Amino acid sequence: MELAPTYNPALFEDKWYRFWLEKGYFHADEKKVLSGEKKKFSVVLPPPNVTGVLHVGHALNSTLQDIICRWKRMKGYEVCWIPGTDHAGIATQWVVEKELAKEGLTRHDVGREEFVKRVWKWKEEYGSRIINQLKKLGTSCDWDRERFTMDEGFSKAVRKAFVKLYREGLIYRGKRLINWCPRCHTALSDLEVEHEEVQGNLWYIRYPLVDGDGYVVVATTRPETMLGDVAVAVNPEDERYKDLVGKKVRLPIVNREIPIIADEYVDPEFGTGVVKITPAHDFNDFEIGQRHGLPAISVMDDWGRITVEPFKGVDRFEAREAIVSLLKEEGLLEKVEPHVHAVGHCYRCKTVVEPYLSDQWFVKTKPLAEKPIEAVKTGEIKFIPKQWENTFFDWMYNIRDWCISRQIWWGHRIPAWYCEECGHINVAEETPKRCESCGSEKLRQDEDVLDTWFSSALWPFGTLGWPEETDDLKAFYPTDLLVTGFDIIFFWVSRMMMMGYHFTGKKPFSDVYVHALVRDEHGQKMSKTKGNVIDPLEMVEKYGADTLRFTLAALAAQGRDIRLSEKIIEGYKHFANKVWNIARFVLSATEQVEFEGAVAYQPEDRWILTKLSETVEAVDRELENYRFNEAAKAIYQFLWHEFADWYIEFSKQRIFKGSDEEKRTAVHVLLSVLRDSLKLLHPIMPFLTEEIYQKLPNKDAESIVIAPWPSPEFKFEESVEPVETVKEIIRGIRNTKAELNIPPSTKVEVFVKSSDEELLKTISIMVPSIKQLAKVSELQRTEEAPSGCVSFFLPGVEVYVKVGELIDVAKEIERIKKKLSGVEKDIKKLEKKLSNENFLKRAPKEVVEKNRNELEELREIYEKLNNTLKQLENILS
């Protein structure tokens, strides 16, 4: 039963994880759910990229899910937590292309088939890294059900979804504007475009009016795209240009006549209030072009080179300089101003992304968005915190068709075949032998692959065997919870809703818990460049997985970003040590005392059992509402400040000096409270709790993983207040000594005055504890205020501490007066600061709050010192 002298997680964390896997505790039995034997609770792990390594965001995400899954498992649910990885098309292809480059090769040199083989080989060698790292954190996923977005079953689901949507008219091929990376040579999703603030220019260009009556000045950040201008636009409410609407201007360099149009999108405050419209090279211009029936003229190829004279074949940025130079020569460049603006870059290779008019595959999203919008409105699907509903609605009401094709080789190849005889597009789940239109065998499959988000949109039901009607699908779908970051609410969460409702007729999940960002201690975003990244694996190695998990849970307040530092993690290692030492004491006491047999509860036993029941209720309530930080706080408060600081100290009197019955009762309660406390803590700190639980003589399961969750069965409300008062008496005596510079070990006489007989009875029973913990020589009841005492008052009782013979009263009076003077100065200084309007406006909120808290504390100290001073003056007189 003995625990090691010090807490060293490296000695047991891996051991217990292997044990859990061998026992199959994380595997869900669908038969128990289908038979009605058990209720189900199901979750899908947001699939990390197969190229990924564990970062602190992954650690937070998986920890929060694991807390809920372990809690539900202990509460008797059949928990199915499905893990897996995403094939991450562009990211993975980029990694393998870099490996090829070391051999002096490109993917085109080796060909598609060989390249894809190499990617699979890379995946087999390195693709499980992040999964193994998640296991180090203690994630209790059902690893038997692990999926990959390109495994055979999932690929079947992807093809089925594509074909069904195509046949329903919800997938189409068309020429539209998309994000294009000239380096990776593929379309990108909005999430794969990183917008960075860059220092650029605003070029003011004169566009001459065709009627010869002057010119308009257009401000642009991209002069090279003017070659594709089809109009200039003004705001219809802009009085400066109302008379010009309908007229034409001559496009410089190209000499094409283009119209002046009015559109509400134009911001009169930007530049001159006149903007160029280039539908083939700007998303907003494309929309304007659609509204006004304007053509879209593309002036670049897919390598970012100009395609029209006189700059044909010139790189877009070189063409920019040449165009500006030519405009200067022709006297059409009015001025240039420095201008900071956001420019999109490819998230993988950092090349500036180009809006590009291209033939691509698209999903019509508006019809698919209707059901998810309704589900969130009615509360069928809930966002936690609720504020994220606004983000969801904002995106969904303004949704555009979704470009799902990517010009890369790694991914789900689009199941479409072009007939070389008649041009018909054949869309099918299996490779067709003949054209369904003309019967020709000359078919060529589309070269593109599907956007990674398309396959991951099927994740909640594709992982459970859809499109087959499997037992897993029947038992565990819809899932209950999704834990995710806010940045993919649109790109992933909303798309899972669209696909879930469309293909299954059911919601994909009930609750969407949106966790915050993990920032550094100063609130800065973590980045390698800044050098402020916290590596979770390093923290696990240094402090243990449990410590990191508890830290993340304790900081995970809803709607607030987490400020994390190694110092905070180190601080929670002290809590792990505390739990360890609590267990060592209890187990040691158990070895010395017979704990089985009849027990007779004392007030402090009833108090701690009631506090335990209240903590069980609190943890249940907070976890039910995903208030992870409050659940962690409740457990921390109970274990450290109630069980360790008070009950264990109370129990020592009986264990070392009590009767057999008193000893037996104390150890019985210690063991019961420790066992149930470990269960409460287990979802957050699984390894530590298992290591201790296995040493308990009264464990009620083979493993704490499957132990029953404690119930709040012990409620002795009548004992709580009297014992709380005893605690305050002890604390008050200690504080009195501290205020009067009496050494803590000096024994004092104490008198209590009260008319509350129940309270006096509890005090009488607990006199040995009061004497020991407050270092009291005698504790007596009194009807009068004794002389030579200082007193303090608690609800229902007056407490008098005899100090006249222990101190030089006159000296103490002088010392306290000096201290009061210093405190008074500090109070006035803070009051002056907090009445300064400039300080309140300019100082950060946390600084103002800190000052207000300091002032409140100083006022409390002043009041206590002043009260003590008056009492000492009474003694002296």
Instruction: Count CB atoms within 10 A of the CB of residue 335.
Output: 11
How big, in percent rounded to 5, are the helix, strand and coil portions of the chain?
50, 20, 35
Look up the domain containing 229 and give its range.
Answer: 186-355
Looking up residue 216, the CATH number of its domain turns out to be 3.90.740.10
Beta bridge partners of 443: 419
- For residue 632, give Cα distances in angstroms to 67, 195, 546, 552, 794: 10, 37, 12, 10, 30
Q: Tell me whether residue 401 is in a domain.
A: no
Contact 628, 67 (CB under 8 A): yes
Contact 601, 665 (CB under 8 A): yes
Q: How far apart are CA 14 and CA 47, in angstroms?
A: 23
Q: Three-state DSSP class for 35?
A: coil
Q: How far apart are CA 637 and CA 630, in angstroms?
A: 10
**Domain count along the chain:** 3
Q: Tell me whether residue 763 is in a domain.
A: yes
Encoded amino acid at 701, one letter = A
680 shares a domain with 548:
yes
615 shares a domain with 751:
no
Q: How far apart are CA 619 and CA 711, in angstroms?
A: 11
CB burial class (10 A; 0-12, 13-18, 19+) of residue 325? exposed
Q: What is the DSSP letter of 24?
A: T
Encoded amino acid at 374, one letter = E
Domain end point (choices 340, 355, 370): 355
CB burial class (10 A; 0-12, 13-18, 19+) of residue 777? exposed
Contact 79, 72 (CB under 8 A): yes
Q: Tell me whether residue 503 is in a domain.
A: no
258 shares a domain with 190:
yes
The low-confidence residues of the chain, meaning pLDDT below 50, are: none
Task: Write out the DSSP string of 216-273.
Answer: EEEEES-GGGGGG--EEEE-TT-TTTGGGTT-EEEPTTT--EEEEEE-TTS-TTSTTS
840 shares a domain with 700:
no
Q: Tell me whether residue 206 is in a domain.
A: yes
Q: How far apart are CA 303 and CA 182, in angstroms?
A: 5
Instruction: Count CB atoms within 10 A of the CB of residue 257.
Output: 10
838 shares a domain with 805:
yes
Angle of the 566-592 helix axis to the 686-693 helix axis, nearest 10: 10
Sign of CA dihedral 375, 378, 380, 382: positive
Closest CA to 419 of 406, 407, 409, 434: 434
Residue 51: how many CA atoms within 13 Å on its side-chain side?
13
Beta bridge partners of 518: 562
pLDDT at 188: 83
857 shares a domain with 828:
yes
734 shares a domain with 598:
no
Sign of CA dihedral 544, 548, 549, 554: positive
- Tokens of residue 205, six digits: 């260009």
Closest CA to 138 of 716, 550, 671, 743: 550
pTM for the complete prediction? 0.86
244 shares a domain with 207:
yes
Domain end point (choices 327, 355, 383): 355
- Tokens of residue 35, six digits: 């038979």
316 shares a domain with 256:
yes
695 shares a domain with 552:
yes
817 shares a domain with 704:
no
Q: How far apart are CA 30 and CA 465, in angstroms?
A: 13
Domain end point (choices 302, 329, 355): 355
Q: Tell me whether residue 543 is in a domain.
A: yes
Closest CA to 699 of 550, 573, 590: 590
- The CA angle 304-307-310, to the nearest 5 degrees, is 120
Contact 400, 443 (CB under 8 A): no
Beta bridge partners of 363: 171, 402
Q: Tell me whether residue 195 is in a domain.
A: yes
Strands (E), 525-595: 562-564
Looking up residue 610, the CATH number of its domain turns out to be 1.10.730.10
Q: Where does residue 747 fall: left (phi above 0), alpha (psi -120 to 50 degrees), or beta otherwise?
A: beta
Q: Where does residue 3 fall: left (phi above 0), alpha (psi -120 to 50 degrees), or beta otherwise?
A: beta
339 shares a domain with 191:
yes
811 annotated to bind ligand: no
Q: Tell me whether residue 365 is in a domain.
A: no
Burial 277-307 (b: 16+ CB within 10 A, else e): bbbbbbeebbebbeebebebbbbbeeebbbe
Task: Write out the DSSP string of 132-189.
Answer: HHHHHTT----GGG-EETTSHHHHHHHHHHHHHHHHTT-EEEEEEEEEEETTTTEEE-
